[in-house]
Structure 1
Amino acid sequence: MIRTAARLSLLCALALLGCDSDRRAPAASPKPSVTPQPASSASAAPPPAEDRSAFALPAVPRLIALGDLHGDLAATRAALRLAGAIDDKDHWIGGTLTLVQNGDQVDRGDHDRAILDLFERLAEEARAAGGAVHALNGNHELMNAQGDLRYVTEGAFRDFEGIGGLDLSHPRLSMMPPMARARAAAFMPGGPYARKIADRKVILMVGDTVFVHAGVLPAHVRYGIGKMNRETSAWLEGQSASPPAAVLAEDGPVWTRRYGGKDLGPDDCEVLGRALEGLGAKRMVIGHTVHKEGIAPGCDGRVWRVDVGMSAYYGGRPAVLEIAGETVTPIKSP
């Protein structure tokens, strides 16, 4: 194991834009913002009709949402079994179930690659059975694509060594310790794992429920939900030189803490209401902010916080959120 001081030095080196003790990704210059209008302003305008196909799917009879997994394969399996999605050999048994994972599958644990590969396979198995698996991109997936590997463990570095399609000669990698280069090449825009997560959405709507890692603000609706998804995908595919500023902003959909706090105030709920109205949605499901006490509703059930800190890093217990028609039910592990 790397000793504490040496590991801190390594983590600082891996944050290409600097070293910062804050959880927020460091930046060379202030992040752009998509700051919402004051609470008294008009509701967010609905996205154009032709744009909805980029993020909206029809309602389904039963849907399960999972929060942040952070590299813990055991917790991931436990949550999927709690949902009735997989058997004891990790194969899909969910039938027509639709499952949404709210991002942050990676970092803080050793099993990032195994979790990413598991969800890719389960999506294929679910599709064949008439169901669906949708994994979203969270801030940690996009941090890896930016080259910010501060939260990667030793085991999660090693797992990416020797895989095909890595451009280990890229100049960006010369700044990194040798042990980090394979992982960095895998997630670098255009790299094999960046292309895998390029298929994932930042914001997804199923029926009247919107799913996002951190939160959708009215300004995001005005900007265009489909536009955010397309810009993120193009960047991860290596087709765009710049990361999507609106997505990665301090108040972007993978970073905002507006709805994550335990005590949401009237202003927070009013902003949430305008975002939901603009989307034509009844509720929002988010991760990003840990609630170890369990899945936490807010604003009279219009937002559900599903990051229960189930990974070993946080020490929480697996839990999932079931949505069946108008009934929303948290399901906790025994």
Structure 2
Amino acid sequence: MVSTLRPLALPLLVPLLLAAAPPSAAPATPRLEDAVPDTFSGVERVVAVGDVHGDVDALKDVLRLAKLIDEKGRWSGGKAHLVQTGDIPDRGERTREAFELLMRLQGEALKAGGRVHTLLGNHEVMNMLGDLRYVAPGEMASFADQSPEKDAAGTPPGSNGHRAAYGPQGRYGRWLRTHPAVVRINDTLFVHGGVAPEVPSKTLPELNRWVRQDLFPGNPPGGAKNPQGPLWFRGYALGEEEVAAKALETVLQRFGAKRMVMGHTTDRDGKIRARFGGKAVFIDTGLSTGYGRKLSALELRGGRVTALYVSERVELVAPEAAPAGKVSP
């Protein structure tokens, strides 16, 4: 017997299926107690990119330079790990687009077996805590749709939306509060400013909790606002050679690393800089248009540490020589 039932028209079927589906749960509000992954090993290729400051086009260009995204902006880096060392917002008007790009790439990289690590910088924290000195007018206005409330008279357009967006339950504040300040990948620490010897932490989880506790109400002062905390410290970039070298060695030994990669302190010549025999590497070269749009990325692969520029690749640290009688793989 042939059925006389006709298939339900697709335009009618889709709304019925959506109506029958359970409502999606709202993303959980992050907590200080939540685990924040901070240690990764066995990663074949790591690429680190410095301060973005609202310039999403420059960010895309440098990710293409490093062969992490394709011409359509989709992840093409396979199992590589990208580390963005903080300071995505401020001074430029397209911060939201940069956030959205990195949020999307996090998921795409994970599906491919890679990772995107977006670290906390001092400017992320400033925005979350209401210090808006460096927010560009267009940047502020771009958040207007994040709150249904009209801005108070005399306040910049987008003020309410900006505050809501960076709050604990806001789209970007919720995301940022799940991020670490410091990660270790293989034998390298990555951080925005630098980890000083005086930080009151012996492990990375302790260090990241100390920074993040400033972002959750009801906690004692932590490391996010501390001028010697890892989002602000410039001792390795600007400090006297002998004193800074000794301090760095102490920290590297404490956290089981061979080197530290940092942003935050801009090198105006547009070149990635290494100090202390390659144990400290500074990658903020002025990526954003406001700083001259000097594109660069750092690649760590096979024991090599290489600066990537539009016109050249410069090896900063070569692989260690193999012991006598052994051949490097």
Fold match by TM threshold 0.5? yes
Partner of 1:149: 132
- Check 1:94–1:182 CA distance in 2 against 1; reply closer, same or farther (3 A cut): same
- Choose the corresponding residue for 2:272, options 275, 280, 295: 295
User: Would you say the 8 A contact 2:36–2:179 is kept in 1?
Assistant: no
User: Would you say the 8 A contact 2:226–2:232 is kept in 1?
Assistant: yes
- Choose the corresponding residue for 2:207, options 182, 206, 228: 228
Partner of 1:282: 258
- Check 1:269–1:154 CA distance in 2 against 1; reply closer, same or farther (3 A cut): same
Q: RMSD of aligned C-alpha atoms?
A: 2.3
Structure-1 separation of matches of 2:152 and 2:167: 13
- Check 1:255–1:233 CA distance in 2 against 1; reply closer, same or farther (3 A cut): closer
Partner of 2:236: 259
Residues 1:177 and 2:160 are matched in the alignment: no
Structure-2 separation of matches of 1:243 and 1:71: 31
Q: Give the residue type in structure 2 aligned to 1:125.
A: E
User: Would you say the 8 A contact 2:212–2:222 is kept in 1?
Assistant: no
Alignment of 1:61-140 (within 5 A): 61-140=44-123
Partner of 1:198: 177
In structure 2, runs of 5+ residues without a counterpart are 1-34, 312-329
- The C-alpha deviation readout for 1:38-88, integer Å capped at 9, x for no partner, is xxxxxxxxxxxxxx9852111311110000010001110111011100111
Structure-2 separation of matches of 1:321 and 1:113: 24
Residues 1:55 and 2:34 are matched in the alignment: no
User: Would you say the 8 A contact 2:211–2:229 is kept in 1?
Assistant: no
- Check 1:149–1:243 CA distance in 2 against 1; reply closer, same or farther (3 A cut): farther
Rg larger in structure: 2
Equivalent residues, number: 275
TM-score (norm 2): 0.78
Q: Give the residue type in structure 2 aligned to 1:112.
A: T
Q: Give the residue type in structure 2 aligned to 1:270.
A: K
TM-fit CA distance, 1:192: 2.6
User: Would you say the 8 A contact 2:140–2:156 is kept in 1?
Assistant: no
Residues 1:186 and 2:169 are matched in the alignment: no
SS in 2 for 1:107: coil
Structure-2 separation of matches of 1:264 and 1:112: 35
TM-fit CA distance, 1:317: 1.1
Alignment of 1:304-319 (within 5 A): 304-319=281-296
TM-score (norm 1): 0.77
Residues 1:247 and 2:230 are matched in the alignment: no
User: Would you say the 8 A contact 1:106–1:112 is kept in 2?
Assistant: yes
Structure-1 separation of matches of 2:184 and 2:213: 20
SS in 2 for 1:148: coil
- The C-alpha deviation readout for 1:209-256, integer Å capped at 9, x for no partner, is 0000000112226364312323554654x5x33575223211110001
TM-fit CA distance, 1:260: 1.9
- Choose the corresponding residue for 2:193, options 211, 214, 219: 214
Partner of 1:271: 247
243-252 vs 112-121, greater mean Cα deviation: 243-252
User: Would you say the 8 A contact 2:93–2:139 is kept in 1?
Assistant: yes
Structure-2 separation of matches of 1:118 and 1:260: 29
- Check 1:327–1:152 CA distance in 2 against 1; reply closer, same or farther (3 A cut): same
- The C-alpha deviation readout for 1:277-325, integer Å capped at 9, x for no partner, is 1111000000000013210001110000000011011114110000013
Structure-2 separation of matches of 1:176 and 1:127: 44
User: Would you say the 8 A contact 1:198–1:232 is kept in 2?
Assistant: no
- The C-alpha deviation readout for 1:109-129, integer Å capped at 9, x for no partner, is 011000011001001000001
- Check 1:121–1:271 CA distance in 2 against 1; reply closer, same or farther (3 A cut): same
Q: Bigger relative contact order, structure 1 or 2, given CA contacts below 8 A and separation 6+?
A: 1
Partner of 2:27: none
In structure 1, runs of 5+ residues without a counterpart are 1-51
User: Would you say the 8 A contact 2:91–2:290 is kept in 1?
Assistant: yes
User: Would you say the 8 A contact 1:167–1:191 is kept in 2?
Assistant: no
Structure-2 separation of matches of 1:244 and 1:142: 13
- Check 1:213–1:168 CA distance in 2 against 1; reply closer, same or farther (3 A cut): farther
